[in-house]
Amino acid sequence: MCGIFGYSGNKQAQKLVIQGLRHLEYRGYDSSGIAMQTPASTILTEKTHGKIKNLEDTLKIHPLSGTTAIGHTRWATHGIPTRENAHPHLNESDELAVVHNGIIENYFDLKKKLQAEGVRFRSETDTEVIVHLVAKYYKGNLENAVRRTLKDLKGTYAIAVIASREPGKIVAAKMDSPLVIGSTKEESYLASDISALLEHTNRVTFIENG
Ligand code: GLU
């Protein structure tokens, strides 16, 4: 169970998300990544195996511009630590992205079902089923699609999801894994650990299970 950081506001999100992930580094991790909403019709991601420094080096060459993003530090439970298994995970059309802390206990059954429906997976993680389920239920409203997805999941999770078609929105949910929202007048932050929020705001909301 490792780290999540999200930002939506009027500032460039890349720097804030990396800074946020750095606060969560102390928990240990094997890889990291970021997904950015851009004016393009797809979500852009960068992920790297190893230290956040590797992600930063990649972002120096391929910076991601935008004001809404989610980031993750992974501690692998399902699938070895590789770039492919690092979060965020995208749906097949790259229009939805998810980061996840925890374990989806029924992922194997969900994955078999989705594969039988023709979905192609790109990683070995339990997490990837979440984004394909959101895609399956997505009819233009991300909250509704995530709410429906949660009904299918068994396990522990903190998740954050973005959709390219809904700029400025991050949908988050949790079950037995911490997740906190921080807000200012113009911005929203999301983190799996309150310590990553306090340099930005002390207006925090702890998300409840379900
Ligand atoms: N179970 C997920 C994975 O292995 C998330 C692990 C985590 O909490 O970092 O990718």
> Tens digit of pLDDT for each residue in 40-71?
889 999 999 999 999 999 999 999 999 999 99
How many beta carbons lie within 10 A of that of residue 197, not counting itself?
A: 21
Looking from the CA of residue 78, the nearest atom of ligand 1 is 4
pLDDT at 1 > cutoff 70: no
Q: What is the pTM of this model?
A: 0.97
Q: Ligand 1: does its nearest atom lie under 6 Å from the Cβ of 72?
A: no
> Tens digit of pLDDT for each residue in 93-131?
999 999 999 999 999 999 999 999 999 999 999 999 999
Q: Ligand 1: does its nearest atom lie under 6 Å from the Cβ of 175?
A: no
What are the backbone dihedrals phi and psi of residue 178, each rounded to the nearest 5 degrees, phi first?
Answer: -70, 145
Is 90 within 8 Å of 52 (Cβ atoms)?
no
Is 177 within 8 Å of 192 (Cβ atoms)?
yes
pLDDT at 202 > cutoff 90: yes
